[in-house]
Structure formats: C-alpha cells, structure tokens
Amino acid sequence: MEKLKKPEDLEALRKSLTESYDPNKTRVRICMTGCRAYGAVEVRDALKAEIDKLGLNDKIEIIDTGCHGFCAVAPVMVVEPQGIFYHSMKVEDVPEIVSETLVKGNIIERLVYEDPNTGEKFPYEKDVPFYKDQVKVVLRNCGRIDPKNINDYIRRDGYSGMVKAFFSMTPEEVIETVKGSGLRGRGGAGFPTGVKWGFARAAKGDHKYIICNADEGDPGAFMDRAVLEGDPHTVIEGMLIAAYAIGAQDGYVYVRAEYPIAVEHIKIAVKQAEELGLLGDNILGSGVSLHIHIKEGAGAFVCGEETALMASIEGRRGMPRMRPPFPANEGLWKKPTNINNVETFANVPVIITKGAEWYANMGTERSKGTKAFALAGKVNNTGLIEVPMGITLRKIVFNIGGGIPNGKEFKAVQIGGPSGGCLPAVHLDLPIDYDSLIAAGAIVGSGGMIVMDEETCMVDTARYFMNFVQNESCGKCIPCRVGTRRMLEILTRITEGKGKEGDLELLSELAASVKVSSLCALGQTAPNPVLTTMRYFRNEYEDHIEGQCCTSHVCVELFEFRIDPEKCRGCEICKKQCPMECISGERRKPHVIDPELCIKCGVCYEVCPFNAIFKTHEHLYRKRHAESEVS
C-alpha cells in the first residue's frame, strides 16, 4: 500500500474506490465468523469452485464478511444487488444457488427465511422480521464489508470522522460533540463518554494512553467480539478520535485470547492502517500520532474491570485496586489513561461525521443512541441485534426474537449478564434504558440478553450465575471472595432439596453486604441475579425449601423420571438407551424405572416416541415429608 500523506490523499483513494465499485455486479456476502461452526467455510469454498468451473469469476464476487446477526439460521448469505437472503445452506445446495440465483436471478424457496409462527416466507433481507425493528449504527458495516480489507471500510466513509476531527475540530470541540450526543459507556456502567474524555484531557501528564476494553466475558454475550471480527477499523477510528481528544500517544486493544478471529482481524486492521499511514506518527500530516498495541487477555472475567485490565497489561496479576486515583489521572503505568469498550468506540466515528444532534435524536431523554445485544436462550431468533434505546423487551423478544419456541410461555429475561437481573413477564413493556432497568433491579450491562421459558428454574438460574461470579472472583477482597461462596453454598443447598428456614433471609443479608462492601463492580453487582429472582420469583424459592419440589423439573434432586403405564408400548427404546440399565420390563408391556439406579441423565425422556416418560416430584415430596415427621 502507498502511504497517504494528507487528507486529500485519503479522499482521492475513497473516490477511486467508489468509482470502481459497480453496484450492479453480482456479489455474495457470506458470514465467515460465527457461521464457520455451521459449515460456512465449506459452502464458501464450494461456491468459489463452482464459479471458477463455470468461468464466472469476472462476473460474480464472493465477499467474506463478519456476523450478519441472525445466528439462529446459520450459515447465512445475502446475494446482491437484489438483497436475496439465504440461510442454513449446505454444500449440496451450491450448484443450484449458482445456476439459479447467481446466474438467472431466481429465488430458491427452500433456502429463504420462513417465519415459524406464521409460515410466511421472506426472500429479501430487508423484509426479514429479525431485522425490521433494528437500527444499525455500531453494526452498520458488519455483514456488509470484508473486515480484512481496509479499502472496503474506506469506501463506506471509513476514517472520514477522523479527518473531520483532526482537521476541522479542536480536541475540546470533539469532546463537546461527544458530550452533546449523550453517548454513555457501553461497557456496563453507562458513564457519560464525553465527560470521561474531559477528565483525561484535563489530566496533567507528559504521556497519555487510550485503551479499548475488548475483554468481553459475560455468558452468552458476543457484541464486542462481533464488532472486532466484522468491522475492526471502526474501533481503530474511534480510538484515533479519542486519542486526539485527550492527547494520547499510545493505545492498547485488550482482547481475550479466546476470540481468535477477533484477534486475527484487529491485528490485520492495525497493520493495514499503519501501512496506509492512518496509524503511527504524524497521521496524514496532522501532527497527531498514535501507536496501537494488541494485548491478549487470558480470559479472567475480572479483567473487564478497568484497573484490573491495566494491571494485566503491565504484566501483573489482574486484580482491581481502590479508586481514587481514577485512571483518567493515574492509569496505565501511572499515566493519565482513558478506557472505553469496543461498542463505545464504534459509535464515535458516526457521531463525529453526522453530528451530536443526529445521534441524540435516537433513544430516550437520558439514554441516547442505540445498543447492541446478544439475544440468546429460549427464543426462536437468536443472534446479534442493535436497537434504539427505549425499545421494549416485548418488541425484542417477540418481534425481533420471534417469540418462544415450541409454544412455551415466556418466563423471564436475564439482562446484563452475571451483573444483571432476571425480569419477569410483567416487565415486558419496560423500555430498555439505563434508568428503567436499574429501577427494575437489572442493568443494561455490556448487552447480554438471555430469554427463559416456563421450563426454566429461577433458583437454578441464580445458582448458575453465582457459580460463575464466584469462580471469576479474584479473591482480593473478603466480601466478594467469601460472600459469593457463602451465597453459592446456600443456593446449591436449596437446589438439592436441603434448604431450610431462614435461608432466604440469610441470602438477602449476604447479598446486601456483598453489594455495598466489595472492592469492584464484579462483587458489587454479583448479587443482582439472586436479588431479582427472589424479588420476582420468591414462590419458587419457597417451593424448593418448603415444598421440596422444583416445579420446573430442573433441579435433579427434586424430581424423578417415571413411566406412564397407559402410554408405554414396551418398545424398549428407552431400555436400550439407558446408560445405567435401570429400566426393566418385557417387550410390548409397560416398563418401569428403578429410581435408586437412575442418574437422571434424561436420555429416556428424550428418546421415548410415545411421550410415556414424565418428570414428577409429588412422590418425593410425600417421602421427604414422611421422613421429616419421623425425625
């Protein structure tokens, strides 16, 4: 690449790329990140081979993109210029895709999206219900460009925000623009981004740092990973603008090593930006210099906390420290440092390009713009979404998410990851913004959103998240190290049918202590799933303790598998599949399960073709009630 020396060089390159781009050429945009797990690489390679065999290389282009968002129907592709949306393709579909769609423009009905609730088919991406209520700002390029090709990003106005900031605005004007946009940190705390930059700008120091926190560790969350995989240059551009605003000379992207594609793509992007003169010394002759380094984290959840993250970069154990001093004044190597997460930086170039007012017109009064969420769990349309702040949970779950599979009832949504809370159906019309969620006992957090149906046990859910935060506690402070362990012990005891009177009061007391006295946000927010499940689903806790039953039939100590003799046909499928050989009975006659041998693996329940095997807790309750009377 020839290095660009002034802003006019960048604009000339952009003009050349735009003029050489034929919008009417047939292109296939195929996800090459998360969809790899579902055969996307094999489908892509087969497409290339078929196109090559037919001599169509000059007429059809295959573009490897990042995540399109609709993970539930992976692998996905979009055929341009028509915008035809195909999903769940197999290698054997490729010859027909090429001959019918890429050559003739015909739509293959079996590959288009069909709504599971209505049966209606949607051949075009723009009409697919999953995308209808979304507004793409952070994800504007994901699924549309090749993340390993800087020219794709530049052609779509990439680095124009940086040029505007460097050559048309003072650092103070940049900060005021970000303040005026209302952008709040998307990493979880929601602190106003412009205010944070202002603190770092005002800090005294001969050297300053900018850090991108890509240490995304919430179970079920993959927003930051998807942005780094699908549009790494937007993060680099956001960091460049922030560095100019606060006066930083060096930057770090702290990304967990478990994200190999994200690591690969951000390294490629940094190298390309350096070769083109968009990173390094005296960028485009502006006098601004920034060098970005990649630091791979080892996967410790606590390193998402900014002081622990900086300790890790410095080569020390990732543990938080007391604040003040805050990183803005004394951060990395005791120098003024600004830290934002991936999504926060990805918003910045568009805000600078389009203006604060444009961004502030989206969202609510105190929560501006859009938010990316990883929609997972018991919902038809799982995937990566971006919606305006203020949208309701109902729209996300039932419009974008397509409702609950298999006709089940919605029960709750866990929002904000291990630091968030579980909200029941009564809150489906709650607007998603920072203040509303806090009032309900949850938080926006980084953006994990796990939907649960009627078969979810909320006590077991609280136990799962407490187990996660307890394992991830760094152990530095006693309230988090010991408090979360005691809470986990109580929750585990309850799910095993060993709960006792006073456990709920003790849980509440421990939760309050851990929340107010822990050193960092990991401990301070750890009780949230417990507090919200006790607040909204207290009856389930009481059922486990007083009734000795898990009505959702999740906690294995509180239910048994039984065979309905009226439904059993004696086919012996369950008997043959049972790993413990605990099912007995003659062929064509009702079988029985020996509860003393059964390990409750559920294999019999899954394979029975007559739905003759069921879960029950009634006899266990009677048995334990009798035992307690005797004792």
Q: Considering the chain, what percentage of its residues have pLDDT values greater than 90?
A: 89
Looking at residues 69-83, what average pLDDT do you find?
Answer: 97
Q: Can you read off the two tokens belonging to residue 199?
A: 């603190």
Beta bridge partners of 339: 211
Sheet bearing 76-80, strands edge to edge: 60-65, 26-31, 76-80, 84-87
Confidence band (pLDDT; 50, 70, 90) for 377? very high
Kindly tell me if the per-residue pLDDT of 223 is higher than 70: yes
In angstroms, rounded to a whole number, what is the distance separating the alpha carbons of residues 87 and 93? 11
CA 78 to chain centre: 23
Report the candidate in 183, 217, 229, 214 with the shortest Cα–Cα distance to residue 69.
229
Could you give the residue range(s) of every CATH 3.40.30.10 domain in the chain?
Answer: 21-125
CATH 3.40.1360.10, applies to 21-125: no
Residues 6+ apart with CB under 8 A from 248: 200, 208, 209, 210, 242, 290, 338
Kindly tell me if the per-residue pLDDT of 457 is higher than 70: yes
Beta bridge partners of 383: 375
Topology (CATH) of 559-630: Alpha-Beta Plaits (3.30.70)
Beta bridge partners of 385: 373
In angstroms, rounded to a whole number, what is the distance separating the alpha carbons of residues 590 and 570? 5
CATH number for the segment(s) 459-545: 1.20.1440.230
Locate tokens 């059809």: which residue? 60
In angstroms, rounded to a whole number, what is the distance separating the alpha carbons of residues 68 and 131? 10
Locate tokens 């086919």: which residue? 571
Could you give the residue range(s) of every CATH 1.20.1440.230 domain in the chain?
Answer: 459-545
Confidence band (pLDDT; 50, 70, 90) for 417? confident
Confidence band (pLDDT; 50, 70, 90) for 49? very high
- Residues 520, 407: contact at Cβ < 8 Å? no
Kindly tell me if the per-residue pLDDT of 1 is higher than 80: no
In angstroms, rounded to a whole number, what is the distance separating the alpha carbons of residues 294 and 297? 10
Q: What pLDDT is recorded for position 15?
A: 97
- Residues 134, 400: contact at Cβ < 8 Å? yes
In angstroms, rounded to a whole number, what is the distance separating the alpha carbons of residues 147 and 163? 21
Name residue 549's amino acid: C
Looking at residues 396-404, what average pLDDT do you find?
Answer: 96
Strands 592-593 and 560-563: unpaired
Q: Average pLDDT, whole number, for the chain?
A: 94
Report the candidate in 631, 622, 452, 477 with the shortest Cα–Cα distance to residue 537.
452
In angstroms, rounded to a whole number, what is the distance separating the alpha carbons of residues 473 and 471? 6
Kindly tell me if the per-residue pLDDT of 631 is higher than 60: no
Looking at residues 27-51, what average pLDDT do you find?
Answer: 97
Could you give the residue range(s) of every CATH 3.30.70.20 domain in the chain?
Answer: 559-630
Q: What pLDDT is recorded for position 219?
A: 81
Q: What pLDDT is recorded for position 260?
A: 95
Peptide bond into 75 cis (omega under 30): yes
Kindly tell me if the per-residue pLDDT of 532 is higher than 80: yes
Looking at residues 119-147, what average pLDDT do you find?
Answer: 96
In angstroms, rounded to a whole number, what is the distance separating the alpha carbons of residues 608 and 615? 13
Helices (H), 457-592: 458-472, 478-495, 503-517, 521-525, 528-536, 538-545, 573-577
In angstroms, rounded to a whole number, what is the distance separating the alpha carbons of residues 450 and 460? 14
Kindly tell me if the per-residue pLDDT of 110 is higher than 60: yes
CATH number for the segment(s) 150-360: 3.40.50.11540
- Residues 67, 20: contact at Cβ < 8 Å? no
What SS3 state is found at 232? helix
Q: What pLDDT is recorded for position 245?
A: 98
In angstroms, rounded to a whole number, what is the distance separating the alpha carbons of residues 410 and 428? 10
CATH 3.90.650.10, applies to 370-456: no
Kindly tell me if the per-residue pLDDT of 430 is higher than 90: yes
Kindly tell me if the per-residue pLDDT of 320 is higher than 60: yes
Beta bridge partners of 422: 414
Looking at residues 59-73, what average pLDDT do you find?
Answer: 97
- Residues 384, 69: contact at Cβ < 8 Å? yes
Q: Considering the chain, what percentage of its residues have pLDDT values greater than 70?
A: 98
Q: What pLDDT is recorded for position 420?
A: 87
Please state whether the predicted TM-score (pTM) of the whole model is above 0.85.
yes
Kindly tell me if the per-residue pLDDT of 188 is higher than 80: no
Could you give the residue range(s) of every CATH 3.40.50.11540 domain in the chain?
Answer: 150-360
Could you give the residue range(s) of every CATH 3.10.20.600 domain in the chain?
Answer: 370-456
- Residues 478, 518: contact at Cβ < 8 Å? no
Buried residues in 316-352 as b, exposed as e (16+ CB within 10 A): eebbbeeeeebbbbbbbeebbbbbbbbbbbbbbbbbb
Looking at residues 124-136, what average pLDDT do you find?
Answer: 96
Q: What pLDDT is recorded for position 220?
A: 80
Q: Quick: pLDDT tens for 247-294.
A: 999 999 999 999 999 999 999 999 999 999 999 999 999 999 999 999
Peptide bond into 336 cis (omega under 30): no
Kindly tell me if the per-residue pLDDT of 346 is higher than 60: yes
- Residues 254, 26: contact at Cβ < 8 Å? no
- Residues 522, 472: contact at Cβ < 8 Å? yes
Sheet bearing 410-415, strands edge to edge: 383-388, 370-377, 448-453, 410-415, 421-424
